[in-house]
Structure 1
Amino acid sequence: MSEADNSTPAAGAFKPKKSVALSGVTAGNTALCTVGKTGNDLHYRGYDILDIASTCEFEEIAYLLVHEKLPTQAELTAYKTRLKALRGLPANVKAALEWIPAAAHPMDVMRTGVSVLGTVLPEKDDHNLPGARDIADKLMASLGSMLLYWYHYSHNGKRIEVETDDDSIGGHFLHLLHGVEPSKSWVEAMHTSLNL
């Protein structure tokens, strides 16, 4: 670091202030996660994110959030198989994604894709727990497909196949992004990113 980088700000220069207006204010109550309970920490259903972010696959964390516990190996295998089967996109969703311009923000693309998916595969009115879990699973499985279908179509004019043999959401995303099966280290990095 140079001395210039270490210097104090000039008189009258802008100094950002830490906002404390919402310190200690509860934004909502949830069993899913706690933020800042004992400082700068994050917990998912009681598990410290630092303990699980780089050691768990994304599907394990997704299972924890949706089913309220970490899965056994058999449950994880079955869950990954279930999510893999839900990656596809209905033709109407693909058609809607093709209308979104390349300059659109990815969050807007996913919001629009989810809205169209909700009209093509409507939810039941009762919102029971199994139904809510089904919705969460479909969204987790298909959001990457939506985003990358739009990306390849809007940027390259290519209609890609969104179903792959990758056994994880992270691997599936990277495979669709690059068009080739990703390395194990890339998939592990993607899991950590998704977990955080």
Structure 2
Amino acid sequence: MSMPISGPNQATNATTASAPKNKGGLEGIVAATTAISKVEGNTGRLIYRGYNIHDLARTTIFEEVVHLLWFGHLPSQQELTNLQQRFAAERTIPENVMVALRALPTSTEPMDALRTAVSAWGAVAIKGQPTVDQAIALTARFPLFLAAFNRLRHGQEPLESKPELGHAANYLYLLTGEVPSEEHVQGLNAYLVLLADHGMNASTFTARIVASTESDIASSIVAAIGALKGPLHGGAPSKVQDMLHEIGTPENADSWIRDAITTGKKLMGFGHRVYKTTDPRAEELREMARVADPQGFVFTRRVEELAISILEELKPGRRLYTNVEYYSAALMASVGLSGDLFTPTFAVSRVGGWTAHVLEQAGNNRLIRPEAEYTGSTDLAFKPLNER
């Protein structure tokens, strides 16, 4: 069964002569048009197809949000039920993927295992141009791939999914073998909603570039996973946890933060390329962390308050505030995830947005082919090999 895509699909190049001068990292360059999400950096707002992220995080589940991203509207009860049934039907791991996962050393990073599994699955399951059916199949399988590898590396056999469980609950079950508490399911669901899309970030742009070549959806998503893995994009949540462990106590926080800033050490979980105020996703995650781990929250919040104050003191005018990664670490730890599963779980969420952008790109495609400002020599005199 094929599901149609609704909503505008417009993607264009920005290579006109009037385009702003490159500041590095394509800052200020408009590379596409999209109807999927909007990031308002100065006011700290994130919009998914017209809906404020605060409303979605508090009232929807992940399956509703990916329906919104793919089809352009929130689902009716029947549409949601249909999508959940589609997800449950796709919860299988082909034998070639299991062979690949079993062959990986137990020391393999889960993000690398996820990339490998998606590539192996795509090699046998994906043909032709991107479709929403393929997006559903990919998104449904991300938790399976991760949970299967996580159990294998700990000497356990992968589990069969429970069709009666939703996306977030089934992921936690596949990891632990226990049906999760409602509190943990709600926390993970909210996290998945909050991270599902975020404008033209590095991994989404990567996915759209690959899609613009008319490659397949699996190749686009494998490339996006590679981009998300980097610590300057999605690879930082576990490093927030490491930083908090290194700080150790509230009494040590002030001196540790000051020393880190003055010596050029990066404060993990602070600052964002777009937001010039608190990341709205961090606001939601902060409240969830407060409920999930009241005792640990006191320390985490104290470090946050000190860091923002000291950053303004030592780097005035830079407007460096808490980003989504800071409280992501606390929330994911509270639902029982190990640190090296934080970024792959980010991918479990973001694959919804990646696939929506791939579909949008394919729907009105033009090859993304920007120019580069050349800074090398142009008139060197050539010498044959025997004269060099």
Aligned residue runs from structure 1 range 1-196, under 5 A: 24-36=28-40, 39-123=43-127, 125=128, 127=129, 132-156=131-155, 158-196=156-194
Q: In the aligned structure 2, how far is the partner of 1:37 from the partner of 1:48?
A: 14
SS in 2 for 1:51: helix
Q: Which runs of 4+ in 1 moved over 6 A?
A: none
SS in 1 for 2:91: coil
**Is the contact made by 1:54 and 1:191 (CA closer than 8 Å) also made in structure 2?**
no
SS in 2 for 1:62: helix
Question: Aligned partner of 1:92: which letter?
Answer: N
Q: In the aligned structure 2, how far is the partner of 1:169 from the partner of 1:71?
A: 16
Question: Aligned partner of 2:63: which letter?
Answer: E
Structure 1 position 46, deviation (Å): 1.3
Give the structure with higher Rg (CA).
Answer: 2
| 1:78-113 deviation line (CA, Å, top 9, x unaligned) | 110110110111111111111222332322221111
C-alpha spacing 1:185/1:92, structure 2 compared with 1 (3 Å): same
C-alpha spacing 1:51/1:27, structure 2 compared with 1 (3 Å): farther
Structure 1 position 23, deviation (Å): 5.5
Q: In the aligned structure 1, how far is the partner of 2:43 from the partner of 2:111?
A: 30
CA RMSD of aligned residues (A): 1.8
Q: In the aligned structure 1, how far is the partner of 2:160 from the partner of 2:47?
A: 33
How high is the TM-score relative to the length of structure 1? 0.80
| 1:16-64 deviation line (CA, Å, top 9, x unaligned) | xxxx866544353221111126622211111111111121010000111
Q: In the aligned structure 1, how far is the partner of 2:42 from the partner of 2:94?
A: 45
**Stretch of structure 1 that moved more, 158-167 or 83-92:** 158-167
Structure 1, gaps ≥5 residues long = 1-19
Question: Aligned partner of 1:135: which letter?
Answer: Q
Identity %: 35
Q: In the aligned structure 2, how far is the partner of 1:23 from the partner of 1:91?
A: 43
| 1:95-135 deviation line (CA, Å, top 9, x unaligned) | 11112223323222211111100112132x2x2xxx61011
Structure 2, gaps ≥5 residues long = 1-22, 195-388
Q: In the aligned structure 1, how far is the partner of 2:146 from the partner of 2:94?
A: 14
**Is the contact made by 1:44 and 1:65 (CA closer than 8 Å) also made in structure 2?**
yes
C-alpha spacing 1:166/1:102, structure 2 compared with 1 (3 Å): farther
**Is the contact made by 1:175 and 1:181 (CA closer than 8 Å) also made in structure 2?**
yes
Q: In the aligned structure 2, how far is the partner of 1:168 from the partner of 1:56?
A: 12
**Is the contact made by 1:45 and 1:68 (CA closer than 8 Å) also made in structure 2?**
yes
**Is the contact made by 1:149 and 1:159 (CA closer than 8 Å) also made in structure 2?**
yes
**Is the contact made by 1:33 and 1:42 (CA closer than 8 Å) also made in structure 2?**
yes
C-alpha spacing 1:32/1:70, structure 2 compared with 1 (3 Å): same
C-alpha spacing 1:28/1:155, structure 2 compared with 1 (3 Å): farther
C-alpha spacing 1:111/1:104, structure 2 compared with 1 (3 Å): same
How high is the TM-score relative to the length of structure 2? 0.42
Q: In the aligned structure 1, how far is the partner of 2:103 from the partner of 2:160?
A: 18
Question: Aligned partner of 1:191: which letter?
Answer: N
SS in 2 for 1:165: coil
Q: In the aligned structure 1, how far is the partner of 2:147 from the partner of 2:31?
A: 33
Aligned to 1:12: none
SS in 2 for 1:101: coil
Q: In the aligned structure 1, how far is the partner of 2:107 from the partner of 2:59?
A: 36
SS in 1 for 2:59: coil
Question: Aligned partner of 2:32: which letter?
Answer: G
Equivalent pairs counted in the alignment come to 171
